Amino acid sequence: MSQHLIDIRSLSLNELIEAMALEGQKPFRAKQIYEWLWKNTATTFNEMTNLSVELRELLQNKFIIRPVTVSEYQVSSDKTIKNAFKLYDGSVIEGVLIPTAGGRMTACISSQVGCSLSCEFCATGKLKLLRNINSDEIFDQVKLLHQQSLDFYGKPISNVVYMGMGEPLLNYKNVLRSVELLTSHQGLGLAPKRITVSTAGIAKMIKKLGDDQVKFHLALSLHAANEEKRSKIMPINEQNSLESLAEAINYFYEKTKERITLEYIVFKDFNDSIKDADELIKFYYRIKAKVNIIEYNPIDGGQFQQTTPERLEAFARHLQNHKVIVNIRRSRGKDIDAACGQLVNKNNTVAERVFKK
């Protein structure tokens, strides 16, 4: 029977009002239901206690709620928590809760089941793309990580980063809808500036973000400011050159006045020389940006290694000497393969760190 039921969380408020009107219900009832779904994050119709029993039965006969669940999680020695989230169709994705200095609690979430981009340094890139993640499934990841943050550390989620599995801009509609739900006063009420969407670099979609005048932060996974090197590790660069990305980023800035973040993973003997730093400086000054230098986290069967601390520091210092706004981002959750680029690296089932639900 469930295949004939409508996924109620796929409906906008206006669509829900229309659906309820067909059942003889007034608009305020639809608004009550909508608030239960998004503000109170109800996962069953029986939780909607200010609705009559008759209306709840009607909802159960017409609609379905398909919540995401945590199938297992692992806790790192640095308190990072990696989660395996199970979707309604049995698909499994991963999301990470990252506690950092100053009390910040960051939810790192996925936008696709698998990925189609095949970046050489990323474990997720070795998977096939199975499907896009729906907006309600993206919302649920944040909701679950928010609850986990309260349960484990007594603190709410403060930031959300779309840096898990998949390419967010290839799931554009669902990603923007999920941001709307997360930031709405009818949803979780997060400030847009607390949200960062990270892209491998799709020029036309970066321009579309500008046209849509989004309020969240945008990050570009750059990792090389040299066309040949970037194409070698990120095949997407062959259709989205540095030239086209610079143009798109400048367009985005004109529309939003938002400085983007360039993410740059430093690989040993590949992109960690002073010459590489000079190429990054040159690209940086073509756009409005800041730079995050990221430690590399090796993956199974990967061809790259982490650079030495000395070379990483020299690289960052060279950028700073040229007035580049730069921050070194230290990896979290490496011991449970929860760090950047490691999602779905391996099935680590060490008994002390895996908790079945």
Catalytic residue among 108, 115, 119, 340: 340
Structure tokens, 205:
């979609």
Of 94, 137, 263, 279, the active-site residue reads 94
Q: Residue 352 and residue 334: Cα distance in Å, rounded?
A: 16
CB contact burial 134-173 (16+ within 10 A = b; e otherwise): bbbbbbbbbbbbbebbeeeeeeebbbbbbbbbbbbbbbbe
User: How would you classify residue 189: left for phi > 0, otherwise alpha for psi between -120 and 50, otherwise beta?
Assistant: left
| Pairing, β 105-108 against β 92-99 | antiparallel
Phi–psi pair at 81, nearest 5 degrees:
-120, 120
Is 35 noted as a catalytic residue in this protein? no
The CA distance from 36 to 49, in Å, is: 9
Structure tokens at 292: 């995050």
- Give the integer Cα–Cα distance in Å for 239 and 203: 9
* CA pair distance 166, 177, nearest whole angstrom: 16
Please say if 120 is a catalytic residue: no
CA distance 146 to 189: 12
| Token pair 């690989």: residue | 267
**Active site positions, annotated:** 94, 340
